[in-house]
Amino acid sequence: MKSKIALFVFFCCNVASGVAQESKPAFKVVAFYTAKNDLAHISFVHEANTWFEKMGAKHHFNYDSTNNWNNLNADFLSKYNVVIFLDTRPDSLDQRIAFQQYMETGGAWMGFHFAGFALTPSAFPQNWDWYHNQFLGSGEYLSNTWRPTSAILRVEDRRHPSTKDIPLTFRTSPSEWYRWKNDLRKNPDINIVLAIDSTSFPLGTGPKLHEIWHSGYYPVAWTNKKYRMIYFNMGHNDIDYENKTNKELSFTFGNEIEDRLIVNALLWLGTKNNK
């Protein structure tokens, strides 16, 4: 009888331990956002927060988000394995120093669309050289397509973990696409993962002619070999500005291939020794 009781207790303890291990997240993610300046970016932020939380439950990572950029400090960041910038970047010197130190000591980062934006003069000037020129490598924003439209992207790095099970070319959700000052192909630290395929051209609908691209090379996703990071240019939903309804006309998530790409990238970032 005692042996049966002992065996039962042993079984229960092991089951409880197994449940505890299964419920423990594989890694922790925190997203920073502002969500104040552009309805298209605000729409993306709200969509992203809902989507990442669902992906966390599915892929066993913990997802938090905050619009308090003062949390960008060493103590707060030490609790997380991956940081995401959904729509902007830190402005204060202390926040910038904390983020740079986090990245230089093994932290991981994912950025979307407006997180890479910098234009002098504007409300977001290029006044952070480490971030825009060294870390991202892209430098200032130069121009964009308009309206937000789908693009055909081409995988430039088939070996990168983010492109696992991703076809060589695929159609994205609609977005506004950026052109940059720096040619990322000339930077030995930058690994371009995705670029706009020539079959996308003409890309954009205008009405201004310079908002429609007919040729050129445009990176859309890339990594920096010196850091654990990836930047995606996607992240601008289509909004009905013209008719002043401000209705959401498109969304970023829900595209099966694009979703898989982002999940792949996040799982890669959340894995140790993935530099």
Total number of domains constituting the chain: 1
**CATH code for the domain in which residue 45 is found:** 3.40.50.880
The answer to whether position 237 is within a domain reads yes
pLDDT tens-place string over residues 57-88: 999 999 999 999 999 999 999 999 999 999 99
The answer to whether position 10 is within a domain reads no
The answer to whether position 230 is within a domain reads yes
Question: Domain range holding 32?
Answer: 27-269
The answer to whether position 39 is within a domain reads yes
pLDDT tens-place string over residues 105-125: 999 999 999 999 999 999 999
pLDDT tens-place string over residues 237-269: 999 999 999 999 999 999 999 999 999 999 999
Distances in Å between the alpha carbon of 91 and those of 56, 99, 121, 244?
Answer: 28, 11, 15, 31
> What is the C-alpha radius of gyration for the chain, rounded to an integer number of angstroms?
21
pTM confidence score: 0.91
The answer to whether position 8 is within a domain reads no
The answer to whether position 22 is within a domain reads no
The answer to whether position 142 is within a domain reads yes
The answer to whether position 3 is within a domain reads no
- pLDDT (mean) for 2-26: 51
Q: Which residues pair with 195 in a beta bridge?
A: 154, 219
